[in-house]
Amino acid sequence: MISYAIEVNNLKKEFVVKKKNSFLKRNSKKEIFVAVDNISFQVRKGEIFGFLGPNGAGKTTTIKMISTLLRPTSGTAIINGIDCVEKPMEVLKNLGTVLTGERSIYWKLTGRENLEYFAAMNGITGKNAQKKIDYLLKRFNLDKRADETVEKYSTGMKQRVALAKALIADPEILILDEPTSGLDPQSARNLRELILEIKEEGRTILLTTHYMEEADQLSDRIAIIDHGQIIAMDTPYNLKNALNKTNVIVLELKDWNSNTEERIKGIPTVENITSRFDDITQRWEVKIHIANGTNSINDLITNIISSDNKIINFRVEEPTLEDVFINLTGKSLRE
Ligand SMILES: Nc1ncnc2c1ncn2[C@@H]1O[C@H](COP(=O)(O)OP(=O)(O)OP(=O)(O)O)[C@@H](O)[C@H]1O
């Protein structure tokens, strides 16, 4: 019996990149860039497995290798017991894939025609195809505009057509790359609900995201990826719970500079500091991790006030997956 839907073992992808080190083209050097660096993980049947990481972490490259679109430099990806390199066509029968900014749906065709085309490509024709297409159009709330060309659809509708297309052959496993990227909050919420419904049907879902709330809300387990490596893997609860000895303090300040940051770093219980300037409020939001059960909140506030810095807001937050990432890497997911 096959126990895992997806099994990835020591998967690696290297790209050859040209490094220009001079104005002269002939002096450009070739270098090896490791986009995915020996990663291993298993996805159980029926679970949503989230791949969370910042831009450029290696999420899409991993997904492309699992979807047979890129050949790994080394290592293996096994889908329902089938090797992606040895039997790509067999693997594809088990997979439905939606990649980011995917142009694999045809904008000059209608939503219905797209599904008819992809049904035919999968050998689904006649009444069987019509039944399935009608069902998917209705289910993804596309039925009322099914006969308009896709180019007239909103981004959310296009994404729903791509999802319907991925489900047309009833695959056991769905691979979604940044599924809500570029969607407005309401469309993103609707799509997340759809993803949970699709899981309820017993399908396995591997999804990538750089939105920590999305990973938290949808995933049974999460792998956090940075610079091509998996740096943590567990349930969202366990990942956050591992931080329960840390207080997460968020300050809104009028000013923030490297001198203040260095002084705060000098407080022995301060573990991490990240800061970002909000253009809209024209304030700094500074997140500080400090070890629990100490007097350091006092030290922190005294230190900031003594620098004549105005504290506009102060709050203590429950650790989020963002804090898990900060704790592991010292930087924010958004940097
Ligand atoms: N064909 C390629 N040639 C060279 N470098 C590449 C190629 N494809 C991806 N990379 C690099 O590999 C790294 C990982 O890219 P990847 O697209 O997998 O990241 P990601 O985590 O999906 O991020 P994003 O959300 O920004 O797409 C990046 O630094 C990217 O520039």
In angstroms, the Cα distances linking 315 to 41, 216, 260, 290, 301 are: 36, 21, 19, 13, 12
> Are 113 and 159 in the same domain?
yes
Residue 76 domain flag = no
Rounded CA separation 131/246 (Å): 54
CB 30 within 8 A of CB 20: no
How far apart are the C-alpha atoms of 31 and 15, rounded to whole Å? 8
Q: What CATH number corresponds to the domain at position 264? A: 3.30.70.260
pLDDT of residue 335: 59
List per-residue pLDDT tens for the chain, 335 residues long: 557 999 999 999 999 988 766 565 566 678 899 999 999 999 999 999 999 998 899 999 999 999 999 999 999 999 999 999 999 999 999 999 998 766 778 989 999 999 999 999 999 989 999 999 999 999 999 999 999 999 999 988 999 999 999 999 999 999 999 989 888 899 899 999 999 999 999 999 999 998 888 999 999 999 999 999 999 999 999 999 888 778 888 999 988 888 888 888 888 888 889 998 988 888 999 999 888 755 677 878 887 877 777 888 988 888 889 889 988 888 887 75
**Residues 6 or more apart in contact with residue 265 via CB below 8 angstroms:** 273
Q: Does residue 334 belong to any structural domain of this protein?
A: no
Probe residue for ligand 1, chosen from 36, 37, 60, 333 as the CB with the greatest number of ligand atoms within 8 Å: 60
Of 194, 246, 245, 241, whose CA–CA distance to 218 is shortest?
A: 194
Do 214 and 250 share a domain, yes or no?
Answer: no
Per-residue confidence (pLDDT) for residue 150, from 0 to 100: 94
Domain co-membership, 202 together with 143: yes
The pLDDT, as a whole number, for residue 309 is 75
User: Ligand 1 in contact with 31 (CB < 6 A)?
Assistant: no
Contact 228, 34 (CB under 8 A): yes
Cα-to-centroid distance, 189 and ligand 1 (Å): 27
Distance CA 177, CA 63 (A): 7
Name the residue of 55, 102, 178 whose CB sits within 8 Å of the most ligand 1 atoms, as the mutation to test its pocket.
Answer: 55
| pLDDT (0 to 100) of residue 26 | 62
Predicted pLDDT at 21? 64
What pLDDT does residue 118 have?
Answer: 93
Counting from 1 in the atom list of ligand 1, the atom nearest the Cα of 54 is 21
Which CATH number belongs to the domain containing residue 57 in this structure? 3.40.50.300
Does residue 263 share a domain with residue 210? no
- In terms of domains, do 126 and 173 share one? yes
Residue 157 counted as domain residue? yes
User: Do 130 and 230 sit in the same domain of this protein?
Assistant: yes
Specify the DSSP element, H or E, that contains 34. strand 29-44
The helix (run of H) or strand (run of E) holding residue 118 is: helix 111-121
The order of strands in the sheet holding 283-291 is: 270-278, 283-291, 246-253, 311-317
Q: Which residue is closest in CA terms to ligand 1's atom 24?
A: 55
Contact assessment for residue 177 and residue 96, using Cβ atoms and an 8 Å cutoff: no
Ligand 1 contact, 60 CB (< 6 A): yes
Length of the chain: 335
d(CA 149, CA 60): 28
Q: Is the separation of the CB atoms in 253 and 312 below 8 Å?
A: yes
16, β-bridge pairs:
32
User: DSSP letter at 184?
Assistant: -
Domain assignment of residue 14, yes or no: no
Backbone angles phi, psi at 268, to 5 degrees: -55, -30
Residue 83 is predicted with a pLDDT of 96
Identify whether residues 261 and 185 lie together within a single domain: no
For ligand 1, is residue 17 a contact (CB within 6 Å)?
A: yes
- Cβ-count burial 210-242 (b if 16+ within 10 Å, e if not): bbbebbbbbbebbbbbbebebebbeebeebbee
Range of the domain at 204: 47-61+83-234
Burial of 81 (0-12, 13-18, 19+ CB in 10 A): middle
**What's the confidence (pLDDT) of residue 22?**
56
Maximum separation of any 2 CA atoms in the chain, in Å: 77
Residue closest to 236 by CA, chosen among 138, 296, 320: 320
Nearest ligand 1 atom, CA 61 = 18
Q: What is the pLDDT of residue 95?
A: 95
Same domain, 51 and 195: yes
Question: Which amino acid is it at 288?
Answer: I
Residue 33 lies in a domain: no
Regarding whether 276 and 143 lie in a shared domain, the answer is no
Query: Does this model's pTM top 0.80?
Result: yes
Provide CB contacts within 8 A for 8, sequence distance 6+.
Answer: 39, 40, 41, 42, 62, 66, 75, 76, 77, 78
The count of structural domains within the chain is: 2
Which residue is it, tokens 């930087």? 331
On whether the CB atoms of residues 179 and 195 are closer than 8 A, the answer is: yes
The confidence score (pLDDT) of residue 327 equals 87
For residues 219 and 280, state if they share a domain. Answer: no
C-beta of residue 287 within 8 angstroms of C-beta of residue 275: yes
